Structure formats: structure tokens, C-alpha cells
Amino acid sequence: MRILFLCNKSPWPPKEGGPMAMNMLIEGLTGVGHTVKVLAVNSYKYNIQESEIPADYRVKTDMELIGVDLRVKPFDAFLNLFTGESYHVQRFISESFRVRVVAALLAEKYDIVQLETLFMCPYISTIRKHSAAKIILRAHNIEHLIWQRIADETKNPVKQWYTSHLARTLKNFEENAVQQCDGIVAITPTDAACFQNLIHGMMDKKSGKGNSRKGPVPVIDIPFGINPEKYANSSGAIEVPSLFSLGSMNWIPNQEGVRWFLKEVWPDVHNQFPDLKYFLAGRAMPEWMLSLKLPNVVVLGEVEDSRNFLASQAIMIVPLFSGSGIRVKIIEGMAAGKTIISTSIGAEGISYTHRENILIADAPCEFFEMISICVTNNNVCVKIGNKARSLIETKYNTNFLIQKLIAFYQQLRG
């Protein structure tokens, strides 16, 4: 099959969750003989020089980077309040990107056009006009749910109102966009169920009018997968005990989660375990993180090799209270045999068992309890880490997931 990927950011280098999830499918599909072309947004938030991309990767993906200005413009954001349109989505609408989509579709006949994230859905009408390919939305998250959860956690009434507005307009777009696709690939069973509810809800509202489809849009869940062999179960030089968080810190849920942990949990943990260190690593750290002066909180910023960093640490902290989809770093941490302490939302979509292959904590006292158990008994960490790796080997192996995706493609093509 020939597959055109439209990506909201470059899948290379795979240094954060979105690019890693995209790259996993691209590498997997090309690895079993399918032809892939990639058109990717290149923005200030994830800016890539084509010269940085390995030559063999450019050849097998025929990747093109198209500059799109995604900067938030206050005046445009204000005017958007009166349109009812999603400002998140509007920022991704680009004539230069549309032109490249048209050129790609005219140059080649594709079987599948895969939209990586909801933000590529504004190009559906263009694809329909120039191609008979099946259009797949690969949804990394339920996008409106992220912003609704952020709004629910926001105390400032003005900020809460505006964030709720963003969530509402994003939900309206999301509901309509999924109806226009031929198939949805969700990243978790939870997200797949949510999409199915959205689709059936919209069908009920329209009573089938204006929709030529005989039935609901097919939905499947295919999680992020990895090759477990690339993540050796850590047995070398590990700082034990130690806590760490790893992730892209320009993503608001990550920022807010770390802020909450430092305020609500870390003071008590530090008082009880004064020698314990908490390492913060990730790209695009905000100034408030970089300037932290808290005892035994070590701010590293972006690390050169995340797998080496994972291997050197002991206990992963994932204090997320908003977000959707699947946490790629949890999958990586499990593959590396790490003990992970996460909120229920952070671990959402992963087939975990509390106290067997992960530890779940949603309140400060629960985080304190789980950390205390791990710090005082390393055997618990070893046991949970081994079980976590076994889970990845059996349920999140890339080879199995790629075959599942190909079968879905073939089903849609008839």
C-alpha cells in the first residue's frame, strides 16, 4: 500500500511523545514493505532543519517539512471568540501546507491518507477533492478532553471561562471531524470508546441526515508500541533511590503536574527522606522550572539520550491531572523496567494493574505512601519493574501493532 502521512510536527527526531508515536508507525510500515510519504508541519515549537534528518530516513519517507506559523497571536485569539471556531485548529490552517498536500496527491495515487492528530483534519476536503484514498484519523488524544480537564482544574474565573471556551469549540470541531473520516485509530481503548460515543451521539442528532455513510465510522485502538529490545531492563549504574520526571515541558499538563507535585508532595517527601533527589528532565522547559531553587530538586533540562537517562534512574513520577491518550514515557519507563508512580489520568489507556506493574496515586498522601514504599524497600521496585517490562513485551510490541493497523487498512479498503 501507499500511505500519505500528514503530521502536525516532524516525526523525526522522535524526542517527544507525538513524534515518537508517529515514527513508530512510519518505521513499522516501511519496515514491512509499504510505501510512505510524510508531509509535516515545521513550527517554532518543534523546528527541524532538513539537514538534521538522516539521509536514509529522508529516502524512505520522502519527507517534506512545511513551515507553519503556530504562534498564538492575542489579537487573532480575541477575534476568534466571536466566530465559534476552534482557535487551536485555526492555527494549523495554512495555504502553503494545502498546496503541498494537493501536489502530493496529484503526483501519486495513495491508498491511505493518515491524519496524525485532529489538527490535520482541516485538510479533509482538499484530500477528498483530489484523491479516492481512505482517510484515517490517528488520534493521539481526545483533544477537547485535555482542555476541559485543564479548565476543571483552573481556579482563576477568567482563565477558567476562556479555557472552557477553548474546550467547547474544540469539541464541536472534533465531533464534526470524526464524521468526515473513513476510520479512526485511537491510541487507547478508553479513547476509542469516547470516539464511538461521539460518533453515535452525532448520528443520533442528525438522525442520519446529511451523512451518506451507511453506518458509524469504524474505530480501532492501537497504542504506542516499542521494540522492548531497545530498552534493556536496567541492571547497571542506577541512582537508588531516586525520583525523576521526564517529558516535554512545553505541554501544559506536564508543567501543571510537576508544579502540583513540587507544591503538594515534595515538601513532605523531602522532610522524610532528606537525601532523596528528584530529577526533572525534558525539552522546552519553562523559565520557572529552570530557575527552581528547591532542595534536592535537580533540573536537567533536555537530556541527550532519554534511554540512557531512564536507565540511570529508579522511580518515575507522573503527576498528571489533565491530558488524554497514552503517556509514551510510561511505556518507555515500563520497557526499561522502572517503577512508575502515576495518577489514574496519567496511566489512562494502559492495561496496568495497580501494585503489580505500576503504582497509582491521586492525592498527596497517596504519592507520599507510594514513594515511601519504594524508597524503603528496593525489592518492591525490582518486582514492579520486572512485571512492567513483561506487560510491554506482551501487549505493546511494535510488530504486533503494525499488523493490526495493516488489517484495519485492508478492512476499510474492502
Q: Classify domain 2-225+397-413 at the CATH topology level.
A: Rossmann fold (3.40.50)
Supply the pLDDT for residue 234: 52
> Where are the CATH 3.40.50.2000 domain residues in the chain?
2-225+397-413, 228-395
Supply the pLDDT for residue 324: 67
Length reported for the chain = 414
CATH of domain 228-395: 3.40.50.2000
- What does the longest C-alpha to C-alpha distance in the chain come to? 65
Supply the pLDDT for residue 227: 84
Cα 168 to the chain's mean position, in Å?
Answer: 21
Contact 146, 154 (CB under 8 A): no
Supply the pLDDT for residue 374: 96
Tell me the pLDDT of the chain (414 aa) as tens digits: 999 999 999 999 988 889 999 999 999 999 999 999 999 999 998 899 988 999 999 999 999 999 999 999 998 898 899 899 999 999 999 999 999 999 999 999 999 999 999 999 999 999 999 999 999 999 998 899 888 988 998 889 999 999 999 999 999 999 999 999 999 999 988 899 999 988 887 776 765 444 445 678 999 999 988 888 888 655 557 788 999 999 989 888 999 999 999 999 999 999 999 999 999 999 889 999 999 999 999 999 999 888 889 889 999 999 999 876 678 889 999 999 999 999 999 998 899 999 999 999 999 999 999 999 999 999 999 999 999 999 999 889 898 899 999 999 999 998
Residues with Cβ within 8 Å of 392's Cβ and at least 6 positions away in sequence, in order, are 226, 228, 231, 331, 334, 335
Supply the pLDDT for residue 122: 98
Region for 121 from its dihedrals, namely left if φ exceeds 0, alpha if ψ lies in -120 to 50, beta otherwise: alpha
Residues with Cβ within 8 Å of 49's Cβ and at least 6 positions away in sequence, in order, are none
Residue 178: how many CB atoms within 10 A of its CB? 22
Q: Which neighbouring-strand residues pair with 112? A: 3, 134
For the chain, the three-class secondary structure string (H helix, E strand, C coil) is CEEEEEECCCCCCCCCHHHHHHHHHHHHHHHCCCEEEEEEEECCCCCCCHHHCCHHHHHHHCCEEEECCCCCCHHHHHHHCCCCCCHHHHCCCCHHHHHHHHHHHHHCCCCEEEEECHHHHHHHHHHHHHCCCEEEEEECCCHHHHHHHHHHHCCCHHHHHHHHHHHHHHHHHHHHHHHHCCEEEECCHHHHHHHHHHHHHHHHHHCCCCCCCCCCCCEEECCCCECHHHCCCCCCCCCCCCEEEECCCCCHHHHHHHHHHHHHCHHHHHHHCCCCCEEEECCCCCHHHHCCCCCCEEEEECCCCHHHHHHHCCEEEECCCCCCCCCHHHHHHHHCCCEEEECCCCCCCCCCCECCCEEECCCHHHHHHHHHHHHHCHHHHHHHHHHHHHHHHHHCEHHHHHHHHHHHHHHHHC
Return the C-alpha cell found at 201.
Answer: 451521539
Supply the pLDDT for residue 153: 84
The amino acid at 333: G
Supply the pLDDT for residue 211: 47
Rg (Cα) of the chain, in Å, rounded? Answer: 22
